Structure 1
């Protein structure tokens, strides 16, 4: 091979960068660390068998080229990473399925996310937005401060998912807890303590959904779970009820946690960029591009993991087949080679595709619902709470994949004007 064109080995990642990303400071603002990784090279090694990728072009290649697959059960089992526990079954959902099973299950689950289905649910979303903002208003009036995550950011998308799927409204608090506690199952660097909690929550959530499916099988309704039960056979493939329950667990968690992150991020963004918030409040026609910019600037999902099925190269770097590669979506979304002035939030930024909802066959199934939720929620938030601001630091769980908020204290007292 010509040495001038031979693929090179990846340089090492900055020392301790994953540990620093999961520190309190790293969770609050990971972007300087992503830039530190970028400065080391477009592709860097994390240990002997994993790579970190920060460039937009390279991440898009990894997410769309069919030689790249998700590390599914077969890949994980060969490396002793999957267990025989119930959480392993819950994890065999869309993000960890490859073709052809991925396509069949995606078609089964696409029903609630079609344009027609979303327009039917829009009035319900609008009503739920009003109810949850009323509750936030009451909390702020009574106490002067509220936890935005508990009252709105997580509660609202959980309520929407419960309505879509047909989960009982009286169980929303329970479902919200399950959603939060199972989030660590998606994290490649979860701590043992997080994994224990997540495994237990996954088992409880799966049992809860199975009981509901059994009930709907006996007494069908018009809800989505009842409809899905009539399609336990999809083409020539049988979809067992326990697998259907696992996919419902996944849909709730994925829909709730990502939208929760988007809502909480919006509060922080409006506070950090008050001029952008005022401009958006006065230009409702710009809402779709503002949602895209928010998700580019600080995406809810910050990392996607893939493995190549054969030897390949990325940015001139040799990648052996089966190598675990982290496509750092949040870093790609701030790649200065693709987005001018990438660290600035600008709702008037000319439209340019980001990777906030992924790309390729694993493009986020719920992206249209997330956009609908944001389109109904953000204008009302700006209209009803123009002086809302954070009233203390946010708390987050350690993680590289999801920007999971635990709490975000807020107040609507006007901030003091500082004079110098």
Structure 2
């Protein structure tokens, strides 16, 4: 068995669905696209994610020769009804940015250790990521194609998948790249499904308009970002509090999987019993342990960001019975929470919501929260 065959077999044994291998040549189209779209990515090009460094695998691993690409299908079990439409399936699957003590992170760590045991150096960047354009590497490794919503699609799987890449310093047997797109010629379903218009053109996404950006990316202090969600985006966020699946749910390549009768996941079902938007808004220690830590500790752990997202979703619920919990949030120690609770009260728009806002304005000491309360009063 060749070294390449050993690698493929081991990755499949770990649970990966597809494995491909490509060269460690640079990604010039990625560099070109980044320069063309710099206004959309100014927060991540040279700071934060440092996307410019992703162009050349040599920047991640000097002496890089090959990129091993492994695709994991995370839609193998049923997702709880209580979580669908609120938490993206990727995060529910616990296969994204996970530590090696969790199954998703352990799979990546085991793959790395296997490659190292074979005498290879393996590039590392951040947790599960090697720091190269994973989806472009997957295309170059012949595993599938990219669609209009910029998601990667593997034949027979769809787009509910995650791509892991492993940069190594040895030459392997390379696969032929895939060509074209998986999208039907005139299909616009993903573009039409996006509530914020984040898919601004075919194969082009404005990350700042993507719900996931507002949920989890703008919390890290990246250049030109703010943890205060754009008021224009908030009403379009619906009930989502951590990621979004709308463009994937609209994709024809996912229809069979969405209709399939899949086995339930006991772990998720148990966590879902404890999850609620009001619980997330209050965010006490017990709720955090049972309903947040199991699948939401990916990008962030600070409770105020989860509370912020919950407040927006509650505001979008249209349920006047939610006013009391928002009134309590209007007294939260964190100004960020108070500001978004104020917006949510204005969004609900009831007479009771107005009374809460009017009572809260005189005692508000935060300048941003006070602005939000005044704006909310104009909404009701």
TM-score of the pair, normalised by structure 2: 0.27
The higher relative CO (CA closer than 8 Å, separation ≥ 6) is in 1
TM-score of the pair, normalised by structure 1: 0.25
